[in-house]
Amino acid sequence: MRNAALTLGLIGGLLAMFVGFFGFGYTEFIENNGEIGDFASQVDHPMVIKLASFLAPILAIAGAAMARSQNVPAGVLMLASSVAILVAFGFNVFTMFPIAMCGLGGILALVAKQPDAH
């Protein structure tokens, strides 16, 4: 189970990184260039987007890295990453896989009783 948590957390973190790049880039673009009519307007809380764009992938990848040795903190980190993505970006076609993979990886890490057999 810990190996599955590691894999899911790593893949979820990489996907969250792509979502974060676009989220952070969008808010920066609008801040620097202004809104473009009804086509592109600034989000309500750009700092939340920027913070989640930066922290969520780091939490997921750090949790994945710890999944084999320290399963409880790893699970908490991956679940925190999943919640951060959900709160900042909502549940949509771009976030469903990072949320699901980080969340499932976090749950698997938390319920793992003993290290996986090598």
Say how far residue 89 (Cα) sits from the centre of its chain: 10
Q: What is the pTM of this model?
A: 0.89
Query: Does position 16 have pLDDT exceeding 90, yes or no?
Result: yes
- What is the predicted pLDDT for the residue at 116? 59
What are 47-101's pLDDT values in tens digits?
A: 999 999 999 999 999 999 999 989 999 999 999 999 999 999 999 999 999 999 9
**Alpha-carbon span 91 to 96, nearest angstrom:** 6
Query: Does position 42 have pLDDT exceeding 90, yes or no?
Result: no
**Alpha-carbon span 13 to 28, nearest angstrom:** 22
Average pLDDT, the chain: 91
Amino acid identity at 19:
V
